[in-house]
Amino acid sequence: MDVTPPLLENRYQLQTGRDQRGSFPMLILSRHQGESLILSEGDSQITVSLLKVENEQLKIAISTPDEERMIQQELLHLTE
């Protein structure tokens, strides 16, 4: 069952983001506490949930299949 929303249809806009790799298109979304974002490809699904917003800090939960690897960006250099 395909539950893909009508992405980029008046409601969302692709913008250009920037990080250490340079500029690239990114989708900018707003989430409220308790809401989630689901990323899926085939049978694989990653869920990112916004658990708590306190001051300027966000607490998020990420659920992935066991075979998926996650690493914080600031620690990426340790794996190279």
- Range with top average pLDDT, 15-19, 37-41, 71-75: 37-41
Read off the tokens for 28: 């900018």
Strand arrangement of the beta sheet that strand 36-41 belongs to: 36-41, 44-54, 57-63
pLDDT band, residue 79 (cuts 50/70/90)? confident
Instruction: Determine the pLDDT at residue 40.
Output: 86
Which one has a higher pLDDT value, 26 or 66? 66
What's the whole-number average pLDDT of the chain? 76
* Separation between Cα atoms, residue 3 and residue 12, nearest integer Å: 17
Strand extents, DSSP E, 1-80:
14-19, 22-27, 36-41, 44-54, 57-63
